Amino acid sequence: LIAVNADRLRADFRALCEIGRTQAGGVSRTTFSDAHLDAREWFLRRAVAAGLETRVDAAGNHSAVLAAARSSAPTLLLGSHLDSVPDGGRFDGALGVVAALEALRAVNDAGLALPVALEAIDFTDEEGSLVGLLGSLALAGALTQELLEAPRGGRESLVAELARVGLSEAQLKDARRPPEALAGYLELHIEQGPELQRHRAQIGVVTAIAGSRSFRLLFEGAARHAGTTPMSSRRDALLGAARFALLVRDTVVDRFPGCVGTVGAIEVEPSAFNVVPGRARLLLELRSPAAEQLDALEAQLFRSAHRAAASDGLDLTIERVGRWDPVELDAKTQAAIERGAQDLGLSTLRLVSGAGHDAQALAPVTRAGMIFVPSIDGISHDPAEHTSWLHCLNGANVLLRAALSLAQSSSG
């Protein structure tokens, strides 16, 4: 019975945790930081050591490849991402990449000949310090000029960072692979939420991934003397931003229970004890698995926000800086994951992912599926993020089995 090599997988995971390790015990590997680049080089070295081919595409995606006997065979992608949020956890993305690499090694060791090539891929900038899903959108042929012109991390930073690592903005789109060259995409990931733990399920079978919309808001009032400006004549930008943060929470809770909304940052200028804030910049993100709910929430929120800002004497500017559409994942792939788990005696739960993933970019062009393993207390994007090793190992074995079943049933 084919299985991953648990010791080899664990040694790799531990080695990866050391790259960009933080004092709090997590990792900080934001896109193209030194730690991120080191992790990617480490990944290629491990692939070479395993006798696999390696490739880096025009969007900087890093891959290990186990070729098929027939050179024209399509490729089954297994992957995730090695970048992290600032001060993130050790498992988000990293588990999926080392498990994908291990799945290739296990197939190689077993000497199996498959009708498809297997490729373990580390996608560029999943977390979005620059754009978000940059590498997977490029591979899917869905990287738009609009996204590149108004990226989440700011245009200047995107241009500078691409130059820093020798990538050309004009060529990013060359990473596109024609859908007929793909046999599917499978991603193992930690759940990052509490459902599997709550249901005591060992393996999550992801049915859909929530969409997300990101915005920058600018509230502009007037910076004035904090001692002499009467309370009644202030145009305090921070108060507008604060009111807006409450409006987001109340609107979502009262009227859009299937959505979540987050104000992730408020920056105030001039930022002093003795000056009424003249400007407040705010980052907003809305998510839901239902696109029409996002449309309705967005419309209602911004209508109320403009009204509230005007009555506070503030100007409000809203800029859209990112959009990932909600997607449903492939039914045949879900069934393959379920069978793989059942064969191993593992319990499963079907669930929707509230977090974004590269699978979301690939689902429109190829059969895409995701395997989740339980997160302790649902904590993620934090150094305390944790998944027990046994769950990680189970997830890797389900990934391997699902990959083999999809590879073998692929017409090639």
Applying CB under 5 A, the residues found at the interface with Mn ion are: 92-93
352 binds ligand GLV (CB under 6 A): no
Please say which residue, 278 or 326, places its beta carbon nearer to ligand GLV: 326
83 binds, among Mn ion, ligand GLV, none (CB under 5 to 8 A by kind): none
356 binds, among ligand GLV, Mn ion, none (CB under 5 to 8 A by kind): ligand GLV
CB of 392 to ligand GLV, least distance (A): 18
Please say which residue, 261 or 356, places its beta carbon nearer to ligand GLV: 356
CB of 212 to ligand GLV, least distance (A): 7
206 binds, among ligand GLV, Mn ion, none (CB under 5 to 8 A by kind): none
Cβ-count burial of 43 within 10 angstroms (0-12 exposed, 13-18 middle, 19+ buried)? Answer: buried
Please say which residue, 127 or 187, places its beta carbon nearer to ligand GLV: 127
Among 162, 266, 352, 355, binds ligand GLV (CB under 6 A): 355
Cβ(290)–Cβ(326) under 8 Å? yes
- CA–chain centroid gap for 91, Å, is 12
DSSP 148-206: HHS-TT-HHHHHHHHHHTT--GGGGGGG---GGGEEEEEEEEE--SSHHHHHT-SEEEE
CB of 364 to ligand GLV, least distance (A): 18
Residues ≥6 apart with Cβ < 8 Å to 316? 217, 218, 219, 220, 240, 305, 306, 309, 310
Among 119, 122, 127, 161, binds ligand GLV (CB under 6 A): 127
CB of 302 to Mn ion, least distance (A): 27
Please say which residue, 93 or 326, places its beta carbon nearer to Mn ion: 93
Please say which residue, 102 or 127, places its beta carbon nearer to ligand GLV: 127
* Residue 304 neighbours by CB distance under 10 Å: 16
Among 26, 326, 356, 369, binds ligand GLV (CB under 6 A): 356
Please say which residue, 92 or 285, places its beta carbon nearer to Mn ion: 92
Please say which residue, 211 or 278, places its beta carbon nearer to Mn ion: 211
Instruction: Retrieve residue 43's tokens.
Output: 């990944």
CB of 271 to ligand GLV, least distance (A): 27
CA-to-CA distance for 80 and 11, rounded, in angstroms? 18
CB of 397 to Mn ion, least distance (A): 20
Dihedral of the CA atoms 246, 251, 256, 258 (nearest 10)?
Answer: 0
Please say which residue, 193 or 277, places its beta carbon nearer to Mn ion: 193
Cβ(301)–Cβ(247) under 8 Å? yes
Residue number with the shortest CB distance to ligand GLV? 356
Q: Which among 369, 383, 406, 362 is positioned nearest to 189, based on CA atoms?
A: 369
CB of 188 to Mn ion, least distance (A): 11
In 25-171, which residue ranges form alpha helices assigned H by DSSP? 34-49, 94-109, 134-140, 145-149, 155-164
Cβ(54)–Cβ(64) under 8 Å? yes
Report helix, strand or coil for 145: helix
CB of 153 to ligand GLV, least distance (A): 13
Q: At what angle do helices 94-109 and 34-49 cross, to 10 degrees?
A: 10
The residues of the shown chain that bind ligand GLV, judged by CB under 6 A, are 127, 355-356
